A = this chain, B = another copy of it.
Amino acid sequence: MKALEEKILREGQILPGNVLKVGSFLNQQIDVPFMNEMASEGVRFFSDKAITKVLTVEASGIAFGYAVAAKLNVPLVFAKKSRTSNVSGSVLQAQVYSYTHNTNYTATVSADFLTEKDTVLLVDDFLANGEALKGLAALAEQGGAQVAGALIAIEKGFQKGGDALRQAGMQVESLAIIEEMSPERGIRFRP
């Protein structure tokens, strides 16, 4: 998505440790009209799938997940990173390793919300090593749901998680794929 690539170049900041800060429009502060455009662009890739739910993980996936679910007119389900008083009864769980925080968390969702009746689109703001997506896919599979594929705002292509999932057969669509990025040389996108 050309407009997203341009926005990343204009507003993004590259921090040490392969961190791309896009807090001015995608995290922290969300450019809502633009995110709605991103969602419109993204759902076109999955127009042949009868998606019943969008699945994401808190917290940074929720806004884009909401925008995508609104376009598809389906519910948004989000996995929590810890079990709280709001999640009770039978649950689905998956261990996810976070490279950003160098720790594991347990993605948790109530078993009521992902069932064999569902065809689920996985949505997240970033894709790097693919650990979060694998966790979301595991939750869907535990619930007996079909995974239609994954829609990502920004993929760090050089971290290979997306390509591994594509090789494993998942339809992974990213609105912008960063092939190379460094504070010195800037950002190069995958054509």
Residues on A lying within 8 angstroms of B by beta carbon are: 15, 17, 19, 21, 23-25, 27-33, 36, 53, 58-60, 62-63, 66-67, 69-70, 73-78, 80, 84-88, 100-101, 109-110, 112-113
Contact = CB atoms under 8 A, between A and B. Distances in A.
B80 A28 contact: yes
Contacts of A80: 28, 59
A47 to B, nearest CB: 18
B19 A85 contact: yes
Contacts of A32: 66, 69-70, 73-76
Contact of A75 (B30, B87, B109): B30
B85 A28 contact: no
How many protomers of this protein does the assembly include?
Answer: 2
Contacts of A24: 112-113
25 contacts: A19-B86, A21-B86, A23-B110, A24-B113, A27-B86, A28-B78, A28-B80, A28-B87, A29-B75, A29-B76, A29-B77, A29-B110, A29-B113, A30-B66, A30-B76, A30-B77, A32-B66, A32-B75, A36-B70, A58-B59, A60-B86, A62-B62, A62-B66, A63-B66, A66-B67
A34 B33 CA distance: 20
A15 B110 CA distance: 15
A32 B70 CA distance: 6
